[in-house]
Structure 1
Amino acid sequence: MPEIESLQKLAHLVTENEGLYVRWSRGPDWDLRKVSSTDDLTGVRLPGLSASALDVEDWWGRRPVNIWVARRLYDYCHLPRVKHPRTRPWLLRGCEAARGPDNEPLVKDVEPIAWVADHVITEARDIVADQPGPWGPIDRDHPSETW
């Protein structure tokens, strides 16, 4: 599978194509054997693979697409640490089958497109760090607040 080598290239793909998602896992060879995700809390098998939609929402307006894509990547950049060291992002096209317990799209009829290179995640982190508001990945193992 090819590899996307820059955030700019990924932003261009998102601009030119609807229905793209990014998934963090060990890859399509691993995922497409089972074609579903599992809810970590309950163990329930979900009707598709959990992924993050990359389509730019209308409310985003004419803001830079690279910031949109950087944030979508950055939200889950902690997963290699908490899931499996070989977890990495890959781009796919598919059909949304349902929503998962975190309201994430659950995708079926998956068509793998490309890996996202590690240095693209570094680019995404840098862009997020340059934004005016504080932001961190969605990391349940290191919550910023306790109950």
Structure 2
Amino acid sequence: MLNLVTLGELVELCLSGPELYLRYSPGPEADALHPSTDHESGLLMPGVSANPLTPPPWWTLPADDWIARRVCQYLRETEEGARPWVLHGRVVDHGPDNEPLLVDIIPVAWLDRRLLAESHDRYRTRMRAGKSTH
């Protein structure tokens, strides 16, 4: 797997190929042993939950802003030992928060803590409550 150090590297990767997703977990090997579970019901889900990194068509701000926002969405998970990683897979359904559930997972890259810090800085300065400086 790649190790991405900058937000620019992640943006370039996301915009240059197939749909990529972000997941916070111990990693692909651990996820293969423990399927995603709906925490409220306890039900096993039919795939691994992940968040899409490609900006939707309505997003008219820079892709960097969208991707930084997605990286920051689950940063709190790192406090519990989860690591952020990028993956590709086939969407088979959606989870309780409408997140894609993926199978046929292909691990792509780990996100370095420097990328997390850069994403957090960008998100904090550009995306506070709809106050983008674009």
TM-score, normalised to structure 1, is: 0.83
Change (3 A) 1:112 1:103: same
Q: Report the CA distance between 1:65 and its aligned residue.
A: 1.2
* Post-superposition CA distance 1:110-141 (Å, at most 9, x none): 00011011111111110011125338xxxxxx
Query: Structure 1: which amino acid aligns with 2:85?
Result: W
* Post-superposition CA distance 1:72-120 (Å, at most 9, x none): 1101101122xx32x1100100011111011111111100011011111
Structure 2 residue matching 1:39: 3-state secondary structure: coil
Across the two proteins, how many residue pairs are aligned to each other?
A: 130
Change (3 A) 1:7 1:38: same
Match of 2:54 in 1: 55
Structure-1 separation of matches of 2:129 and 2:118: 17
Unaligned runs of 5+ residues in structure 2 are none
Structure-2 separation of matches of 1:55 and 1:134: 21
Aligned residues: percent identity? 35
Counterparts of residues 1-147 of structure 1 (less than 5 Å): 1-34=1-34, 36-61=35-60, 63-81=61-79, 84-85=80-81, 87-131=82-126, 133-134=128-129
Structure 2 residue matching 1:58: 3-state secondary structure: coil
4+ aligned runs moved over 6 Å, structure 1: none
45-54 vs 12-21, greater mean Cα deviation = 12-21
TM-score, normalised to structure 2, is: 0.91
Unaligned runs of 5+ residues in structure 1 are 136-147
More helix by share: 2
Structure-1 separation of matches of 2:64 and 2:106: 23
Query: Structure 1: which amino acid aligns with 2:59?
Result: W
